[in-house]
Structure 1
Amino acid sequence: MKRMGNRWLHFICVLGLLLLMTQSAWAKGESDWGVKVTPTDKTAQIDPEAVITLSFSQQIKLANSKEMTDKTLLSVVQLTDAKKKRVPFTAKWNKTNRTITVDPVGNMEAGQSYKVTLLEKKLKDAKGQLNPEVSSTFATKNPVDNIAPKAVILPGDGAKQVKLQDKVTLQFAEEVFLTDGNILSSKTVATLVRITDAKGSQVSHTVTWNKSKRTVTIKPKGGAWLPHTSYQVSVIAGQLKDAAGNVNPSQSSRFATGAK
């Protein structure tokens, strides 16, 4: 008998735990209201294209006893961003499933926080009880970087009358690293650039790397370009990558020097 009593007590404890877990999925207010919001509160990494749903545990109507329509939902639900600015959305009511679907206009922004709120006393249940305020704050995924790192090359393509003492610079808008794992330095960055003349012959030059400015500086050996000469600066593809792993494409810029 003692063993059966222990089993019965164990069964009651497990059953109570299951009931507690089931009820915790619903946001409870001052009445018997049950509202489940998806995404749930404090959820991160939500797809910016996702929709928001509010699911109800029972059939509901507007506080004035009228049936809900898609248009009336705009005064029932509110969507705001991290600055508490209202975000426009469209909404649909599914009476069969007892769900409100909130679809932000133009999708949400990546890497941003949002708050969806069921405004207080806008709805009532079959018992005539008005709803409490229910809200959920969540964050969308950070933007995905699919842009290859490209340099701004000066002198620009087609530049003329370039001064003989001018330097060629390649500046990157983001942090870049060597794809082979070596540290980016004035020594290792040399393989990134090739300088040729109008005949396609390689021109001797020096290359330096400024990490803080993310700039490659190129100077011809001897300190000056030849007068009235055309040059091409070529950036070799696949030498660098950014923090997201995007690899640099090939680039080129042609310029012509002026007189001494």
Structure 2
Amino acid sequence: MSARRLWMQWIAVLGMLLAFSQAAWAKDASNWKISVSPTDKATEVAADAVITLTFSGTVRLANSRDITDKSLLSIVQLGDEKKKKVPFTAKWNKTARSIVIDPVGNLEAGKAYRVTLPAKKLKDARGELNPELSAAFTTKKPVDNIAPQAIILPGHGAKQVKLEEKVTLQFAEEVTLASGGALSSKTAAGLVRLTDEKGQAVPHTVTWNKSKRMLSIKPKGKWQPHTSYQVSLAGGLLQDQAGNVNKSQWSSFTSGAK
């Protein structure tokens, strides 16, 4: 075998080895492993949760300096669904190789957030810079356990109420019948009781305005002058969208002169 042929074979083998080592190096160079909690696309995250980024190996700042809590504030980003920055404190745990991000105050319930580690801010033990990391999550929706309540007008203790004035009960949220039926002027009649100062039932009409979430009560005729009345809303007959049922309410007022 000629020297030239041996030389060409040697060049070919060397090229293959070089290509193989470069491929392995490229694979290792991009082998950044960073776990995030909460994970990307997580839902039902507690509003008081902290965010943790954990690295699989030793990391330093891109300028080869040690990571500090202060340096993290200019590296890690936390924003809400409107891309507004969320203030936070950050702690670096060198032993655990983790960054703990603690939002200042609780996050808002039922909102989306995104944590980002921009590219080329850190380097690993091989000197390779990090790729960009971004994870989004959504916090739990607020839990409604407050019973629906109406604002009653005239208010309790009101005096000199006009004889033509109606009584209104307005709710701050959507309400339906606790039985599951539709709330309407027809079905609302049994929700309210109207009595005079002697405790006698006063004939009246009840109407329901869905858009205003309002019950309106009017006596058949007018209020008698200088007379006390009491309007009562029965409890347990209405519920909000979360299934909370209403408590009983009542209000007394006195009519004025003719």
**What pairs up with 1:18-37 in 2 under 5 angstroms?**
31-37=30-36
**What pairs up with 1:91-102 in 2 under 5 angstroms?**
91-102=90-101
Residue 53 in structure 1 maps to residue 83 in structure 2: no
The amino acid across from 1:140 in the alignment is T
What TM-score results when the alignment is normalised by the length of structure 1?
0.84
Report the Cα offset of residue 172 of structure 1: 1.4
- Which residue of structure 1 lines up, in the alignment, with residue 219 of structure 2? 220
**Paired residues of 1:160 and 1:256 also in contact (CA < 8 A):** yes
Report the Cα offset of residue 136 of structure 1: 0.6
Give the structure with higher Rg (CA).
2
In 1, Cα distance between equivalents of 2:228 and 2:199: 10
Query: Which residues of structure 1 form unaligned runs of 5+?
Result: 1-27
Residue-pair matches, total:
232
**Paired residues of 1:30 and 1:132 also in contact (CA < 8 A):** no
Moved more, 178-187 or 233-242: 178-187
- Which residue of structure 2 lines up, in the alignment, with residue 16 of structure 1? none
- Which residue of structure 1 lines up, in the alignment, with residue 148 of structure 2? 149
Report the Cα offset of residue 30 of structure 1: 6.7
| Runs of 4+ residues over 4 Å off in structure 1 | none
In 2, Cα distance between equivalents of 1:125 and 1:240: 61
Residue 90 in structure 1 maps to residue 89 in structure 2: yes
In 1, Cα distance between equivalents of 2:76 and 2:101: 8
Per-residue CA deviations over 1:232-259 (Å, capped at 9, x if unaligned) read: 1111111100010011112122211111
Per-residue CA deviations over 1:90-145 (Å, capped at 9, x if unaligned) read: 11122222111111111110111111011222211111112121111111122111
RMSD: 1.8
What TM-score results when the alignment is normalised by the length of structure 2?
0.84
Over the matched positions of the two proteins, sequence identity in percent amounts to 67
In 2, Cα distance between equivalents of 1:84 and 1:180: 43
Query: Which residues of structure 2 form unaligned runs of 5+?
Result: 1-26
- Which residue of structure 1 lines up, in the alignment, with residue 9 of structure 2? none
- Which residue of structure 1 lines up, in the alignment, with residue 163 of structure 2? 164
The amino acid across from 2:114 in the alignment is K
The amino acid across from 1:77 in the alignment is V
In 2, Cα distance between equivalents of 1:215 and 1:143: 25
**What pairs up with 1:105-184 in 2 under 5 angstroms?**
105-184=104-183
Report the Cα offset of residue 202 of structure 1: 2.3
